[in-house]
Structure 1
């Protein structure tokens, strides 16, 4: 039986795609094992949505990723330029990858306006965080994908194991 694939933020895999042109390389035996098994599908929703690297930092203004999808919040960069469409386009790309590869588990970068699964920056560009999901994490969860962050790899591994034993 083939093993399920896992969607993983490209920056966690060492790709220099973050807003500052750097990676956030995750050193993890679990992630390394998944990579060796050929299970990892890499994505950077922001680059996928057409944004450059490096780019101005962006935050969700007046809400979270769920609010963006409901039209109640927007994503802006620190110059005040609205970049919501790039974030929603990138999120839709991530969702298509999940559908294409039948992915049910994602490991995305915490605090990101795209990928945050529990915490995001609050939209004031003052380094303050708030509970909430990023645009991509919200869309994936709306479509039944379980989203974990880099600090919850063990839980992601447990979810995969449970899915594969059903």
Structure 2
């Protein structure tokens, strides 16, 4: 199985984080632009369900009157604006249209505005650090549909973005794999096993035990269920300590396999800031790719066809 993807991953993104002043107060950010050249490694599709619902800019802020966005879809909660107007059906219709847009372009992930009653996933208000009633209306829909969900604010953090990026590429790769035999299943799991162990060791060990006890024969149903379990693990963020520990293990493996040292990679007990850790990770990625060595921290890399061809000639 190839461990390099050459097609750009397609992502939806809240338009207010793509430079559009679509927030209720006419504000917006261009967090994608701030990524520098790396933003061109993805195909972006900005959307705004609130504007799509005809609520306009500027507009009265809205909130969930009830438990959560989940309850909005079940008819147990409403969406009202500051004047008390009920905009539930307008917003639900726009969220469904947004989902269809994302499906039509084959988006597998979405960069969302946390704190929004529409796009929020873990918070639906920005005021006084309250949690609000998560998830939001669109957030609820995308969670249920299995999208890879990235908080837009994490694009501003080098280490958090690196963590999201490497899991996103693994997610896209697993999502695209056609499992037609038990060997395909074993190969898929081996490729992402170490990353899954870093993220959720308990869940990863259960998968390992399940594979070890597989009966003879191949079950397509089992394969699809396993893929879903792996994808669910890959949606979860890791921690700084676990990232540093896995980086060091990967470096030790690289050093043993190639007899090469990388001075920039430090042992996990050495304290350093997030930017420095990210630099080490990217350096390790490049060395592993150049030497054809498996980098368990980021097992799937994106490289454009032009870049792969250029490197093969060097």
Which TM-score tier does this pair reach, normalised by the shorter chain?
0.7 to 0.9
Could you list the runs of 5+ residues in structure 1 that have no partner in the other structure?
none
Gaps (5+ residues) in structure 2? 1-5, 156-160, 175-314
Aligned counterpart, 1:135: 137
Distance 1:22 1:88 in 2: 23
CA 76–50 in structure 1, closer or farther in 2 if over 3 Å, else same: same
Q: 1:14 deviation in Å?
A: 1.1
> CA shift at 1:82, angstroms?
0.7
SS at match of 1:138: helix
> Which residue among 99, 107, 111 is the counterpart of 1:107?
111
Distance 1:102 1:50, change over 3 A: same
Q: How does 1:2-151 map to 2 (within 5 A)?
A: 2-26=7-31, 29-30=34-35, 33-34=38-39, 36-37=40-41, 39-121=43-125, 128-130=130-132, 132-151=134-153
Displacement of 1:127: 7.7
Separation in structure 2 between the aligned mates of residue 130 and residue 85 of structure 1, nearest angstrom: 21
**Of residues 148, 171, 187 in structure 2, which corresponds to 1:163?**
171
Root mean square deviation of aligned Cα:
2.4
The alpha-carbon distance between structure 1 residues 151 and 127, as it changes in their structure 2 partners (threshold 3 A), is closer
Q: Per the alignment, in what secondary structure is the counterpart of residue 121 of structure 1?
A: coil
Q: Cα offset for 1:70?
A: 0.8
Point out 4+ residue stretches in structure 1 off by more than 3 angstroms. 27-32, 125-129
Q: CA deviation at 1:151?
A: 3.0
Partner Cα distance (1:165, 1:43) in 2 = 25
| Alpha carbons of structure 1 residues 32 and 6: separation in structure 2 relative to 1, 3 Å | farther
Structure with bigger strand share is 1
2: CA distance, partners of 1:96 / 1:58: 23
Higher RCO, Cα 8 Å, sep 6+: 1
Given that residues 4 and 102 in structure 1 are in contact (C-alpha distance below 8 angstroms), is that contact kept between their aligned partners in structure 2?
no
Calculate the TM-score normalised by the size of structure 2.
0.48
Are the equivalent residues in 2 in contact too, given 1:117–1:148 (CA < 8 A)? no
Structure number, greater radius of gyration: 2
CA distance 1:50–1:150, change in 2 (3 Å): same
Which structure has the highest helix share of the two? 2
